[in-house]
Amino acid sequence: MEKKYLFSPGPTMLPPEILLKMAEPIMHHREPEFEKIFAEVREGLKYLFQTKNEVLIFTSSGTGAMEGAVSNLLSRGDKALVVRGGKFGERWGEICKAFGIETLSIDVEWGKAVHPGRIGELLKSDPSIRAVYTQASETSTGVRHPIKEIAEIVRGYENVVLVVDAITGIGVFDIPMDKWGVDVLVSGSQKALMLPPGLAFAGVSDKAWKFVQRSNLPKFYFDFKKELKNLQKNQSAYTPAITLFVGLRESLRKIREEGLEAVFRRHERLAAATRAAVKALGLDLYAPDSPSNAVTAVKVPEGISGGKLKDLFFEKYGITVAGGQDQAKGKIIRIAHLGYYDRLDMVMVISALEMLLKEMGYAFELGRGVRAAEEVLMGS
Ligand X SMILES: Cc1ncc(COP(=O)(O)O)c(C=O)c1O
Give the interface with ligand X as residue ranges (CB under 6 A): 9-10, 61-63, 88, 135, 139, 165, 167-168, 188, 197
Angle at 74 between CA 70 and CA 77, to 5 degrees: 125
Pick the closer one to ligand X by CB: 165 or 374.
Answer: 165
Nearest approach, Cβ of residue 134 and ligand X (Å): 10
Pick the closer one to ligand X by CB: 59 or 63.
Answer: 63
Which stretches within 53-165 are classed as H helix?
62-71, 87-98, 116-125, 147-154
Nearest approach, Cβ of residue 248 and ligand X (Å): 15
Nearest approach, Cβ of residue 236 and ligand X (Å): 18
Distances in whole angstroms, Cα of residue 205 to Cα of each of 31, 136, 187, 214, 219: 30, 17, 15, 15, 20
Q: Which amino acid is at 27?
A: M
Nearest approach, Cβ of residue 293 and ligand X (Å): 13
In whole angstroms, what is the distance from residue 99 CA to residue 222 CA?
13
| Peptide bond preceding 116 in cis form (omega within 30 of 0) | no
SS3 6: strand
Residue 283 near residue 298, CB atoms below 8 Å: yes
Nearest approach, Cβ of residue 286 and ligand X (Å): 15
In whole angstroms, what is the distance from residue 204 CA to residue 211 CA?
10
Nearest approach, Cβ of residue 63 and ligand X (Å): 3
Pick the closer one to ligand X by CB: 22 or 322.
Answer: 322
Pick the closer one to ligand X by CB: 167 or 283.
Answer: 167
In whole angstroms, what is the distance from residue 312 CA to residue 193 CA?
28
Pick the closer one to ligand X by CB: 143 or 370.
Answer: 143
Write the DSSP string, 159-212: T-EEEEE-TTTTTTS---HHHHT-SEEEEETTSTT---S-EEEEEE-HHHHHHH
Nearest approach, Cβ of residue 349 and ligand X (Å): 19
Pick the closer one to ligand X by CB: 280 or 333.
Answer: 333
44: number of Cβ within 10 Å: 20
Nearest approach, Cβ of residue 21 and ligand X (Å): 21
Closest CA to 316 of 373, 359, 256: 359
Taking the mean position of all CA atoms in its chain, how far away is CA 286? 18
In whole angstroms, what is the distance from residue 195 CA to residue 143 CA?
23
Nearest approach, Cβ of residue 242 and ligand X (Å): 19
274: alpha, beta or left? (left if phi > 0; alpha if psi -120 to 50): alpha
Nearest approach, Cβ of residue 67 and ligand X (Å): 9
What are the phi and psi torsion angles at 109 (to 5°)?
-55, 135
In whole angstroms, what is the distance from residue 168 CA to residue 295 CA?
8
